[in-house]
Amino acid sequence: MLYQLYETQRALLSPFSEFASATAKLYSHPLSPFTHAPGSQRLSAGFELMHRLTKEYEKPAFDINRLQVDGTEVVVQELVAEERPFCRLLRFKRYTDNVELLNKMRGQPTVLVVAPLSGHHSTLLRQTVQTLLQDHKVYITDWIDARMVPTAVGPFHLADYVHYVMDFLRLLGPDVSVISVCQPTVPVLAAVSLLASRGEVAPRAMVMMGGPIDARKSPTAVNNLAMNKSIAWFENNVIYRVPPNYPGAGRLVYPGFLQHTGFVAMNPDRHLSSHYDYFLDLIRGDDDSAEAHRQFYDEYNAVLDMPAEYYLDTIQTVFQDFALVNGTWTIDGAAVRPQDIRETALLTVEGELDDISGAGQTRAAHELCSSIPAARKAHYDVVGAGHYGIFSGRRWRELAYPEIRSFIGRHSAKAE
């Protein structure tokens, strides 16, 4: 019922949002006579803010079309390498007329970036992909909004996520390295473990960034909520059926709008201050700062629905049973044994100020992967970085990325 009420509210607010947008332009467009009226900048700024607070945010595009590689501009094309009901595997293919650079790019390591299925779209990792493309052939998992998947397709469990990752790793071949950001560190470690246990070729390197490998260590507010509420509580309070106006009508999901409410509730003062600053930037005519605000919130406010069974599996397995670290996790009857990983190199990355995955949670992978030689393991703390700072922004580019690039380079097939 809550989902239907939300959809009704959204439908009612949509005309008001468009009216606010049009009125903002009426008081700011240089050809409008109202632009020169007293207080026009404040009126325009106020209506623009109202528009952004009431509009619906669609999934943004990656919009990675060009980038610099070794000082030369190359063209980037986004391709679908594999398509599944709940995920598309995207490839960012680079093109150039420079034969020497083209040959160099062909020899660079292949990287699979496993994006989180935890509320935001995979475009949240846009800066991660842009930076990696300077030195790697890059693929990324692009998870589908569950409300867009018909119920006839069937459910999607945490085990299905692991199988997707295993299939993508097989598809990309033995020379691939895998990078998991936040939530997927757990299923990626499970996928690589199962490949190793079966004697299949595992990735050259796995980089785990800010994820809850062992959520018992330095628990955050997010961890505490997942640990202290029963599965029945989550089923009764955050799981709803998709309304009939979507292809996935009737599917049980954890709605994106509820997740977004939780994101905002973690730091309400920060978001309130950010929107007030945006209002002031509009009044002052600070277009650069206003555009930066728009870009951030266009991404931050665009959320997706998660399949209910996948979400509940994750709560149970990762945050309540701690099945990975306790050695009790089985998938299709096969035990998940990180200790069977021997050939894959391991790098863990944590943010000093991460309030989503606490200190030590990701680093715990080293103890679990006990058969990987010490020479093939490394850990890096990103000083001054919060959760998002380890994969986007200045600290990602200047601190985290050089470490990751060097680590993958050392353990890639071409380096060996």
> What does the pLDDT look like over 180-189, one tens digit per residue?
999 999 999 9
What does the block give as tokens for 273?
């201050």
What average pLDDT does range 194-223 have in this prediction?
A: 93
Instruction: Tell me the DSSP string of 153-194.
Output: G----HHHHHHHHHHHHHHH-TTEEEEEESTTHHHHHHHHHH
Q: Residue 345 above 60 pLDDT?
A: yes
Residue owning tokens 């709605």: 255
What average pLDDT does range 74-91 have in this prediction?
A: 97
Residue owning tokens 């380096």: 415
* Residues contacting 375, CB < 8 A, separation 6+: none
What average pLDDT does range 95-109 have in this prediction?
A: 94
What average pLDDT does range 129-137 have in this prediction?
A: 97
Q: How far is CA 344 from CA 190, 332, 339, 357, 412, in A?
A: 13, 23, 11, 24, 10
Neighbours of 309 (CB within 10 A): 20
What average pLDDT does range 61-77 have in this prediction?
A: 94
What is the CA 309 to chain-centroid distance, rounded?
19
* Nearest in space to 92 (alpha carbons), one of 54, 43, 125: 125
pLDDT number for residue 78: 97
Average pLDDT, the chain: 93
What does the block give as tokens for 211?
């994820």
Do residues 67 and 59 make contact, with C-beta atoms less than 8 angstroms apart?
no
Q: Which helix (H) or strand (E) holds 408?
A: helix 401-411
pLDDT in tens, 237-268: 999 999 998 999 999 999 999 888 877 877 78
CA angle 50-64-118, nearest 5°?
60
Rounded Cα distance between 254 and 261, Å, is 12
The DSSP call for residue 303 is: B
Q: Residue 416 above 70 pLDDT?
A: no
Rounded Cα distance between 68 and 22, Å, is 38
Angle between helices 287-300 and 268-284 (to 10 degrees): 140
pLDDT number for residue 414: 47
pLDDT number for residue 413: 59
Do residues 69 and 134 make contact, with C-beta atoms less than 8 angstroms apart?
yes
Q: Residue 415 above 60 pLDDT?
A: no
What is the CA 192 to chain-centroid distance, rounded?
20
- Tell the CATH topology of 66-234+306-411: Rossmann fold (3.40.50)
Q: Residue 119 above 60 pLDDT?
A: yes
Of the pLDDT bands very low, low, confident and very high (cuts 50, 70, 90), residue 23 is very high
Of the pLDDT bands very low, low, confident and very high (cuts 50, 70, 90), residue 89 is very high
* Residues contacting 388, CB < 8 A, separation 6+: none
For the chain, where do the domains classified as CATH 3.40.50.1820 start and end? 66-234+306-411
Do residues 302 and 60 make contact, with C-beta atoms less than 8 angstroms apart?
yes
Share of the chain above pLDDT 90, in %: 78
Neighbours of 387 (CB within 10 A): 19
Give the β-pairing of 176-181 and 110-114.
Answer: parallel
What average pLDDT does range 109-130 have in this prediction?
A: 95
3-state secondary structure of 120: strand
Provide the whole-model pTM.
0.91
pLDDT in tens, 354-405: 988 999 999 999 999 999 999 999 999 999 999 989 999 999 999 999 999 9
Reduced 3-state DSSP string for 52-74? HHHCCCCCCCCCCCEEEECCEEE
Do residues 115 and 124 make contact, with C-beta atoms less than 8 angstroms apart?
yes
Do residues 380 and 108 make contact, with C-beta atoms less than 8 angstroms apart?
no
